[in-house]
Amino acid sequence: MKVAVLALQGAFIEHEQMLKRLGVESFEVRKLSDWQKPKDGLILPGGESTVQMRLMASLQLFDPIRQAINEGLPVFGTCAGMILLSEGRLGTMDVRVRRNAYGRQLGSFHAYGQVEGIGDDVPMTFIRAPYIDEVLSPRCRPLAVLDHHIVAAQQGRQLATSFHPELDCDLRLHQYFVQMLAS
């Protein structure tokens, strides 16, 4: 099993470390030739979604990534990755997202919550985080709600979180994604 990690900007190394702890091989995608390597899944990390979108477009990664996701490649988007999957960006996930919903860097916080299919007391680190403002179709189901806002969702083989599970020690969300790859 091998997972591609978009490594243009943001917290990609932390995702690679989580996958390594689970015994899953990963590689970084920085250019089109990296993307063309065989892969079983993709992680879109947190960071700055506008920068990531611009870089994906200029490196000719945008269309191939969107096509692969639409064709069923499992993907896990965290924070900016959730924004990338949403309507108006890659548009592969039927959600409307509110960027920087929790404010600026000073509005960052840590919480614990329940995530459907994963369990209780899941650590959630929010850094200038978005949340899902609206689910646009029944194909997408919320997995976690915090303070009346959807902070995790799944649509088919797409998993998205507002928070950064790669910044905590809890492996359950990455394990959940790895199980998606195996199914």
* Residues known to be catalytic: 79, 164, 166
User: What distance in Å separates the CA atoms of residue 129 and residue 6, rounded to the nearest whole number?
Assistant: 19
Q: What are 164's two structure tokens?
A: 């950064």
| Inter-residue contact 44 to 77 (CB < 8 Å) | yes
153 DSSP β-pair partners: 142, 160
H-type helices in the chain, by residue range?
Answer: 12-21, 32-35, 49-58, 62-70, 80-85, 172-182
Question: Which residues have CB under 8 Å from 14's CB, separation 6+?
Answer: 45, 164, 166, 167
